[in-house]
Chains A and B, each alone.
Chain A
Amino acid sequence: MAARVGQSSNLTLIVCNRLLFEQVRRLSTSGLLSAASWTIRSKSKREKILYEAPKSIPVDKVIKKSEVQDIFIPQKIRRSPTAILEALASTVRNDINQPIYSTIDDPFLYSTTDRVKKSHLAAFESGRKAAQHMLALYPDYFTQIWEEPLPDGWKEGTGNLYTEPCEAALIERIAKRKVTEAVDMYRTIVSKGETLSQESQEKLLELLVVFNCKDPEEESDIGSYINAPDYRTFSPFPPNTWKKGNAAEEVFDALPEQSASAYCQMIRGMAANYHKEGVMSMFNAMKANKMPVDVETYNAILKVASLDTETMDDVKLFIETILKDMAENKVNPNERTFISAMINCRRLSRWSGSKKFVLALLSEMKACGIEPGLSTYVEILHIFYYFKDKTSKTPELFEQVLKDLEGKEFECKTENDVQFFRSVMGMIAAHFPDSKLALRVHELLQHGKNKDLLSNRQAQYGYYSDLFSVIIPLEHVDVVMDLYREVVPYIFFPTSETYKLILESIEMHENYHYVPEVYADLQWTSMFKDFDFLSRFTQTLAKRKHEAKLQNEICMIASSLMDQWATKQQLHDALPVNGVVIGNLIITHLNNDDLKTAWSLFQTYRNNRRMRGADPSEDSLTQLAKHVISSQDFEDTKEILHVMSILDYNISSLVEKSLQNMSLSDMERNYIQGLSTGSISSSSSSDSSDSD
């Protein structure tokens, strides 16, 4: 039964009211309905037979009341309409190292590097926009989906319900957030001489100040993910974007009654556009008329405190006056009040006194019983550890903040919450590159749903590249590679610089078994087209001799690199293989005792003029020569010693070795001896160039 309840979509058990049935029986047996018997009339004999219901069919099973045990059904647990969906959504993790779920999951479209990720998502986004554009252009063509009519939400852009100028039409446009249309409608109504209610005019004013009298540009989720947000708020002197005499001022002036809420709206709008003069005149007007100011408006005023003041002391004075005014009027401050005040300190963070003042604000905040959130800490840490500030810092305050936050789960409450992790990691990388601290911050990020606070694509990229740059040189390569596996390649793809650090770390800890893994991620990117990186990578391959299995894998990597070069050698985007790389690969193959491949690489180098830009290292050629000498092949020995002598490498020991170990004719002996003296080198080099 329990299973059935669980499975079916909705199954309700209903209590059957037995008492009702008892009552019915009493009614029926009281003579109204005599049903215990019936008569049968026999047609042929013309007689009636009274028939009593046979007792042998007992269908009545009466459960006595005493038999029925009381069943207690627990109360339904109250939940919001979307609670189940939210619970189910919580089972879906979005921090798995795999392509973003909304994108197309196909090898050809895997977006790895940050740039590719951006272009893929932007293409996705513009496709959507194009579809919406088509829908708006030809609404008549899109009336249904299969057989279903289009939902109302999709028809939204197509037109307005009210076309004649009236109050309802104005409200409709306000609801649809069509700013310019609403302003036009307002002007038409006013020019006709009709009156509008105070309420709808205030609504219009709110719309105008929120969007600064411009039609809002709606950005989709993908758009806000791939594009960086506007950081203008924190610039020391943000430009005033409030236009004097704009539609909002027009509406405000024409209001039948300039109420407190209208004033508040205007102040918020002006403050959002950094028009301090206007804010102050409005605020003074409110004070003169003794109007109540709400907390959001106070916050807006605090935000613009530092815009035209000269010194930090002025700012301090201003903020203190406003806060005192709030206290007098018994307006309770909230977290945003203090954040607004701190933004001023951040703008002027280099001025003396701002650090002290911001700590005073923090203690005031705690005294007011407000728990500081991520945004507050963002402001404070920015003032103390601004990443461009090169003076030396101590991490005490930083550690204190981290200690406060550890083990907590945060929600996005204020707009700057999403900057926390990015900026904190930036500060660690800039001021005190301490891997333990970085890992602690990363652990905090992993806790609960904190990962959602990593904000947009750029912040994510910056966070991880800072994290890797801090921990790779300091942590053991195992720790690094664990983290690497979690995020590379789909969440974050390191740059070639980071990869060089990883290779260094692998070499330092001698954990070469990570090399094939790293190569698997790199081999289909364009990373190897960078010559520096290619030579660095091959250097790691050639570093030392490994056990047979690993050495075999590493040789396969070397061969794969040369295959990549060979298939595209005639094209411009071939791998930049040159002598240095060839030298490294020769050592790699010699480590595997594969003289044949090493020799073919040497031949490749000999036959390609393009590779002559850089030469194989002396070490690599010496090793190759030793192998060739031990294989007793005079022609090959001659060739390699010849090349080495051209490159001015020291070959005297090799010549001696070949004379000792190889069975040579006198002529061959003379030739090789001649190579070591260098007398032949000039003539033979001209020979070789002719032969080429």
Chain B
Amino acid sequence: MASVSVRKTFVVLNSRARDIKFIQQRALHMSLSLKGQDIKSIENDKETSSDTDEFRVYQIEGLKRTSSVRRAERWSKRVPPPRYRSMSTEQDWTDVWPTASTFKWSAVPFPVRQGYVENSSENEGVIPSKYANLELMKGPNFLHLTPAHVQKHCKAIKHFCTKWPEGLETDEQCQKHFPVESVTSDYIYAGPSLTDDRARVASIKFKLSDLKLDYHARDKFVRLVGDRYNPETDDVFFESNRCPLKSQNLEYVKFLLTAVYFESWKNESWEQGKQLSDMETYVWNHNKSHKTCMSLLASIQAKDKTTEGELGKLNYLPENEVDTSVICGLPEVQQYKVAVETLFNVGENMETLNAYKMAVEKLLNFKSDV
């Protein structure tokens, strides 16, 4: 068996040697025109190797290392294990990470991965772990603001706090006693400059219902403040950053409140020219519906007097003729008025339409079976 295998390898070697020779000849041709020296060396090689049976092998200069340089093994420092491995499970985390700092992989005792791998060839398709992970270092972390830290901080600054005043236990009570809420902010951060543009902003917030306003003044107020009024929450919100200082801005928003308040109570001459089409809501008294209703009621009453029997009569109307304002004050008419106003102001839906139906039935004394 052994001899066979030897022969086989020999054959293989031969065939390889043939290839090599062919390549050598080609190389010889090509290099003839390039360098004389190289040809000489090749020819020398040819002569020296002609004694041996094997084909000679072309040595490319510099391809193989001729002399081996023994390099001393580098001194390597014994690196201790990361300290998270020796951390006690009952340690106080606030001592390990007392203040803000960049992510330190060796001090974090939990596994965490971050980063992006494009495909499975990159890091074997696994998101990089915390060791030397730049992605974890880039972003801010909140390891210094865990609940334990906050608790510790609160405990430290608690003696600067005063007791919460009595009578202000709920938000409603606060709102009642302190209707105006003003918000300003201070910004502290580590940087070359302590100033921050955002610190000058000041704002106040209050409920519109806390101001003494009548219908006109309220309407004018709402028009004046525009989108600073939120009709859903009834809040008015003034904010300013136009002055350079916080105190100036705060003063300015207070001035705004005063100015808008007084302005809305004023009744200017041009306000007299308010048209029906300028009305912000549908007011029944000023619309045609009012007149029509009055005339209709008057005509029905006239007819009622002439007919016999109680059926379908409007008994609620006063017998002798009275002013329209008295008729307007009647509950049936009032209900109709409200129904019509909501129908216009709120819009048509099942509720408003139903309410309108009921009001009309009552107004005209229709029986439900009609």
Contact = CB atoms under 8 A, between A and B. Distances in A.
A145 interface: yes
B152 A91 contact: yes
Interface in B145-179: 149, 152-153, 155-157, 159-168, 170-171, 174, 176-179
A97 B340 CA distance: 80
A77 interface: yes
B106 A69 contact: no
A60 interface: yes
Given A16-B210, A24-B261, A150-B192, A1 B106 contact: no
Given A40-B286, A41-B272, A63 B191 contact: no
A148 B192 contact: yes
A107 B106 CA distance: 7
Interface stretch (B94-102, B117-125, B293-301, B346-354): B94-102
Contacts of A10: 183-186
A59 B209 contact: yes
Contacts of B83: 98-99, 105, 107, 110
B48 to A, nearest CB: 39
Interface in A61-98: 61-63, 68-77, 79, 83-84, 87-88, 90-93, 96, 98
B286 A36 contact: no
Given A28-B265, A59-B218, A88 B182 contact: no
A59 B80 contact: no
B212 A105 contact: no
B181 A53 contact: no
Contacts of A231: none
A98 B153 CA distance: 21
B229 interface: no
How big is chain B's contact interface, by range? 35 or more
B266 interface: yes
A38 B180 contact: no
B47 interface: no
Contact of A90 (B156, B204, B262): B156
A72 B265 contact: no
Contacts of B164: 2
A35 interface: yes
Contacts, number: 198
A575 B44 CA distance: 54
Contact of B177 (A68, A108, A571): A68
A54 B283 contact: yes
Interface in A557-614: 570-571, 573
B16 interface: no
B186 A9 contact: yes
A106 B106 contact: yes
Nearest to B187: A9
Given A88-B153, A571-B73, A41 B193 contact: no
Query: Which range holds the interface residue count of chain A?
Result: 35 or more
Contacts of A193: none
B87 to A, nearest CB: 9
Identify the interface centre among A21, A35, A98: most chain B CB within 10 Å of its CB.
A35
Contact of A40 (B153, B217, B275, B338): B275
B79 A57 contact: no
A117 to B, nearest CB: 14
Given A1-B170, A41-B272, A35 B265 contact: yes
A35 B166 contact: no
Interface in A7-59: 8-16, 21-22, 24-25, 28, 33-43, 49, 51, 53-54, 56-57, 59
Contacts of A57: 215, 218
Contacts of B186: 9-10
A367 B157 CA distance: 40
Contacts of B98: 91-93, 101
Given A61-B210, A62-B212, A101-B98, A38 B271 contact: yes
Contacts of B209: 59, 61
A23 to B, nearest CB: 10
Given A71-B168, A74-B163, A573-B75, A107 B192 contact: no
A60 B211 CA distance: 7
B211 A21 contact: yes
Contacts of A60: 212-214
B178 A74 contact: no
B269 to A, nearest CB: 11
B203 to A, nearest CB: 11
Contacts of B338: 56
Given A59-B209, A573-B75, A53 B216 contact: yes
Contact of A520 (B86, B165, B176): B86
Contacts of B333: none
B283 A24 contact: no
A316 to B, nearest CB: 50
Nearest to B168: A71
A60 B208 CA distance: 9
Contact of A77 (B152, B160, B165): B160
A53 B178 contact: no
B184 A12 contact: yes
Contact of A53 (B80, B214, B261, B271): B214
A145 B215 CA distance: 57
Given A69-B167, A88-B153, A90-B156, A12 B182 contact: yes
Given A96-B95, A101-B101, 9 more contacts: A21-B211, A24-B262, A35-B217, A38-B271, A54-B215, A84-B157, A87-B157, A110-B83, A148-B193
24 contacts: A8-B183, A8-B185, A9-B185, A13-B178, A14-B182, A15-B177, A24-B262, A34-B267, A35-B267, A36-B214, A37-B216, A38-B267, A38-B272, A43-B275, A54-B285, A59-B213, A60-B213, A63-B176, A69-B177, A74-B165, A91-B149, A98-B107, A101-B101, A105-B83
Interface of B: 73, 75, 77-83, 86, 94-96, 98-99, 101, 104-107, 149, 152-153, 155-157, 159-168, 170-171, 174, 176-187, 191-193, 204, 206, 208-218, 261-262, 265-267, 271-276, 279, 283, 285-286, 338
